Chains A and B, each alone.
Chain A
């Protein structure tokens, strides 16, 4: 138990569906992240939210839409995905000083395994 909970753990969707991944952290952290891990590839950083503001969008296609309503919750809205988007989507959180970089440890959830048919 890392203090970061992701739901659903598994999701199968068609290319025309709209679904959302949810992440909740119970650690009181102020930064949250979405990573994508495809088979046999390194983790790819997708989005970073610091103090509920998006500070990083790593050239992610618009069919992925993040939302951070508060410091404890992070969503990834999915629509018109492609089969190559099938991957493990990982959420993480960390505690960082306001507006600054830190050595904050990343706490990851167990991931949401997405399959796009």
Chain B
């Protein structure tokens, strides 16, 4: 199982771009990189997923270098409501595979 390492916490201000980097040095060839967001007392929510290069959706971008040993979640122009824990996961779901969550990154956005 690929282990992930993320910063424990980050602080930002409204309107800024936030980049959260995740290291996953032993990522396997078939593994995908997925990011989830979790608010207190709620279940995590899918943000974005990618395999290589860059993926963008309406809420975030995901940058993955060629060696795939790390990835960066980019949140453009954050707001107070983006204050949450962000998890980087590496692997696949289903078929008995374990998709494990690490400690995540607590993002705090202030005015």
Contacts and interface: CB of A to CB of B under 8 A. Distances in A.
Interface residues of A, number: 33
A88 B41 contact: yes
A116 interface: no
B43 A45 contact: no
Given A43-B44, A103-B32, A113-B41, A96 B95 contact: yes
Given A42-B104, A43-B101, A45-B100, A108 B44 contact: yes
A54 B97 CA distance: 12
Contacts of B77: none
Given A2-B45, A106-B44, A111-B43, A42 B103 contact: yes
Chain B: number of interface residues, binned into ranges: 20 to 34
**B contacts with A: majority SS:** loop
Contacts of B101: 35, 42-43
Interface in B32-51: 32, 34, 36, 41-46, 49
A101 B93 contact: yes
A31 B98 CA distance: 12
A50 B94 contact: yes
A101 B98 CA distance: 10
B49 A105 contact: yes
A70 B101 CA distance: 26
Interface of B: 30, 32, 34, 36, 41-46, 49, 87, 92-104
Interface of A: 2, 4, 31, 35, 42-43, 45, 48, 50, 55-56, 58, 88, 90-92, 94, 96-97, 99-111, 113
